[in-house]
Amino acid sequence: MPKLTIDGKEIEVADGTTVFEAARQADISIPHFCYHPKLSIAGNCRMCLVDIEKMPKPAISCNTVANEGMVVNTKTEKVKELQKSVLEFILINHPIDCPVCDQAGECKLQEFYMDYTMTDSEFHEEKVKKPKKVDLGPNVMLDDERCILCSRCIRFCDEITHTSELCFSERGDRSTLTTFPGKQLDNKYSLNTVDICPVGALTSKPFRFQKRVWFLKHVPSVCSGCATGCNIYMDYDDGKVWRYRTRDNESVNQCWTCDAGRLSYPLHNEKRVTRPMVRKNGVLEYSTISDALGEIARALSSLGGDEAVLVGSAQESNENNMALKKFGQTCQIKDLQYSAKPKDDADADNFLIKADKNPNRAGVQHLGYQEFHGGIGVKVVLALEGFSETHLSQLREEGPVAFILLATHLGPETELADVVLPAATFGEQEGSFTNFQNRVQKFEAALIPQGMVLPAWKWLEKIAQELKQPLQLSAEALLQEGFGLKFADLGTEGKILESKN
């Protein structure tokens, strides 16, 4: 456990720790481009040079191991001049067009120039021109003249996805990023290269020139694409989600996420349900809230508890599923089943993508729901959205007298429903999912529900009130009752459920 001093601050670190990592642990920032904590050390940008006493010349901190008694200075005049020189060298052929660059506002080169140099270039010759709008693959576009050759994207494809699509070709100032002949950047995690690109060289095709990043607001959330529950930031503005970004959680997704989950953000489209609907004469028509609740009350009020079934959803939050269970307890309905998307083994891998395409199967199972099996003699089905086609076909064959659905979008489920209530998406409410590790993870509301949209648990509260069986619900109270947890218990990394055994 060597002790060293960095900028006058003494710190003890584990054997093998680099100077750069030691500085980070001491809350000392060292500028860098090529270094990334999850990738091998390249040491090619030279931006992290520091002065180390008794060394004949400055050393790159990312590849220098901390030793006992080492004295490191990161802010001497010599280091500052070196940082300016490195930035000058990088900017020789880099286009100075920040106002039209899609990375403006999130560019490390832009930030470091403002922090460490702010001087005019002494290079007056013509810049080397490189290709623009290079199509690397289905999701990633390259502006090669902005590339600073940090090699992060290459190392990601070599070391994380092990697909090795990218390489450098040519030499010197003609060096260029490209794919190997006959290859595209089309692995399932390709958009992570956009995340780790420190400049505007690699951009996401779906997000490219869609929104200036300084207008975006964000909330911590959880990807709903599969049972992994990758941690993300949901970036939003003007009542719309514009993109998902990865959020670090070493216990779940480290700092990565797959392309499919990352691009699942469109939560609103022309099929969005924003008003209650009631089927009349075989046709689903818009209705008032009072008429829809009246239809539901008439269907449920004359039944025995064994003539109705409540169907939860592995696509829905812990809180909404707990609300449905509590509704059943209040109304004496004991049959709790759940539906889920089918597993897709062909799409799964050994990294982040799970065959189970449901974010909350573990949550509904924890609450005591059984997988959907229908039921002979069931007259009313009250369900959360998320039926598989198989389960929907079974429901269609059994033909209950009334099928009541809480849904976000029109689709095969609403085509079968007799009453539809407009439910909020997970981006419009506070809640949690339980992933395959039995880890309960919180997501925040980004958007305000529009029209008559409400979280499913609020609709269940209204249905109970219509039945003269009032319920007093809240998202946190539902989490606490069903899982013994408060939102504060989940922190930023989630909380593993204790085994019931």
Q: In sequence order, what are the residues at sequence separation of 6 or more whose Cβ sits closer than 8 angstroms to the Cβ of residue 457? A: 319, 320, 322, 323, 473, 475, 478
Phi/psi for 136 (5° steps) reads: -85, -25
Which pLDDT does position 500 carry in this prediction?
61
Give the percent of the chain with pLDDT over 70. 99
CA distances from 468 to 284, 331, 381 (A): 27, 10, 19
Burial of 89 from C-beta contacts in 10 A (0-12 / 13-18 / 19+): middle
As a whole number, mean pLDDT of residues 26-37 equals 95
Domain boundaries, the chain: 3-91, 125-262, 277-496
Q: 501 pLDDT exceeds 60?
A: no
pLDDT in tens, 371-406: 998 877 788 999 999 999 999 999 998 888 899 999
Residue 5 confidence class, pLDDT cut points 50, 70, 90: very high
CA distance 436 to 490: 16
Q: 126 pLDDT exceeds 90?
A: no
pTM of the model: 0.92
CA distances from 1 to 29, 71, 217 (A): 22, 15, 42
Q: What is the pLDDT of the chain when averaged over all its residues?
A: 93
Helix (H/G/I), strand (E/B), else coil: 90: helix
CB 425 within 8 A of CB 408: yes
Which pLDDT does position 305 carry in this prediction?
60
CA distance 317 to 323: 10
Q: Residue 80 CA to chain centroid, in angstroms? A: 37
- Range from 177-191, 294-308, 422-436 carrying the lowest mean pLDDT: 294-308
What H or E segment, with its residue span, contains residue 371? strand 370-371
CA distance 160 to 156: 5
| Helices and strands of the chain, counted as H and E runs | 14, 24
pLDDT in tens, 324-379: 999 999 988 899 999 999 988 888 999 999 999 999 999 999 999 999 988 777 88
Which pLDDT does position 304 carry in this prediction?
64
In the CATH scheme, what is the code of domain 277-496?
3.40.50.740
Residue 440 confidence class, pLDDT cut points 50, 70, 90: very high
CA distance 477 to 458: 13
The topology under which CATH files domain 3-91 is: Ubiquitin-like (UB roll) (3.10.20)
pLDDT in tens, 42-72: 999 999 999 999 899 999 999 999 999 999 9
Which pLDDT does position 347 carry in this prediction?
86
CB 335 within 8 A of CB 306: yes
CA distance 188 to 162: 11
Which pLDDT does position 384 carry in this prediction?
97
Domain 125-262 has CATH 3.30.70.20: yes
Rg of the chain over Cα atoms, rounded to whole angstroms, equals 28
pLDDT in tens, 201-238: 999 999 999 999 999 999 999 999 999 999 999 999 99
Which pLDDT does position 401 carry in this prediction?
87
CA distance 367 to 350: 28
Helices (H), 189-308: 192-196, 259-262, 289-301
Bridge partners for 443 per DSSP: 431
CB 227 within 8 A of CB 354: yes
Helix (H/G/I), strand (E/B), else coil: 170: coil
Q: Catalogue the long-range contacts made by 400-405 (C-beta closer than 8 Å, 24 or more residues apart).
A: 401/299, 402/295, 402/296, 402/299, 404/296, 404/299, 404/380
As a whole number, mean pLDDT of residues 409-426 equals 95
